[in-house]
A and B are shown apart, each in its own frame.
Chain A
Amino acid sequence: DAGVIQSPRHEVTEMGQEVTLRCKPISGHNSLFWYRQTMMRGLELLIYFNNNVPIDDSGMPEDRFSAKMPNASFSTLKIQPSEPRDSAVYFCASSLVDSHSGANVLTFGAGSRLTVL
């Protein structure tokens, strides 16, 4: 299994530009999460989907952020227009029930490091 796949791994853009981050969850996982990580705020949950349906987007910072999951194997997080304060590592994760513990365990992608100048 290739794990959770994110692209791009790194993106540098200028303020005002549109940014689209992509995620392919692990096949068979029915929940997908978008997190943002910064030194100041740590890991923050932005939005999560269950069976492709957005369940909770209360963590999305403002209207400039949007996320979609058109099918079980693909999700996007879009920022339009981008601002310097959006600079962070954006992680996508999908979840599976751990057979040993019964816990719903998140598997993270490698992350997309975004720098907005």
Chain B
Amino acid sequence: GQNIDQPTEMTATEGAIVQINCTYQTSGFNGLFWYQQHAGEAPTFLSYNVLDGLEEKGRFSSFLSRSKGYSYLLLKELQMKDSASYLCAVKGGDYKLSFGAGTTVTVRA
């Protein structure tokens, strides 16, 4: 089975940086994904890591350490529209994608 942990809530100020951590324990590993979900909407794909290291995509970056079972999503230059839930998801040895409970980020002016 999968066990995926991430903080429930985070609050930050517009223009700041926020780092959302995710730790996981899985039977096998075939990649880690981050999805963004605005309230009342569907999750949308943000990033993917399968090898150790940092993947950068504009204001968003995602890091993976497979040996530590750890990832983080870094959101830079926060904007009000970044207020959303951020879901860490792990594809295990069975290739099924399991989601964490999500971290609700609130951006304040």
Contacts and interface: CB of A to CB of B under 8 A. Distances in A.
Nearest to A95: B97
A109 B42 CA distance: 6
30 contacts: A33-B97, A42-B87, A42-B99, A42-B100, A42-B102, A43-B43, A43-B87, A43-B99, A45-B96, A45-B97, A45-B98, A48-B96, A91-B42, A98-B45, A98-B48, A101-B47, A101-B48, A101-B55, A103-B31, A103-B48, A104-B91, A105-B33, A105-B45, A105-B48, A106-B43, A106-B97, A108-B42, A108-B44, A109-B42, A111-B42
Interface string A85-117: 000000100000010010111111111000000
A91 B101 CA distance: 16
Interface string B14-49: 000000000000000001010000000111110110
Contacts of B9: none
Interface in B51-84: 55
Q: Is the interface of A mostly helix, strand, loop or mixed?
A: strand
A18 interface: no
A89 B38 CA distance: 14
Nearest to B41: A110
A104 B91 CA distance: 10
A96 B33 CA distance: 14
A56 interface: yes
A101 B41 CA distance: 24
Nearest to B57: A100
B100 A107 contact: no
A61 to B, nearest CB: 16
Contacts of A103: 31, 33, 48, 50
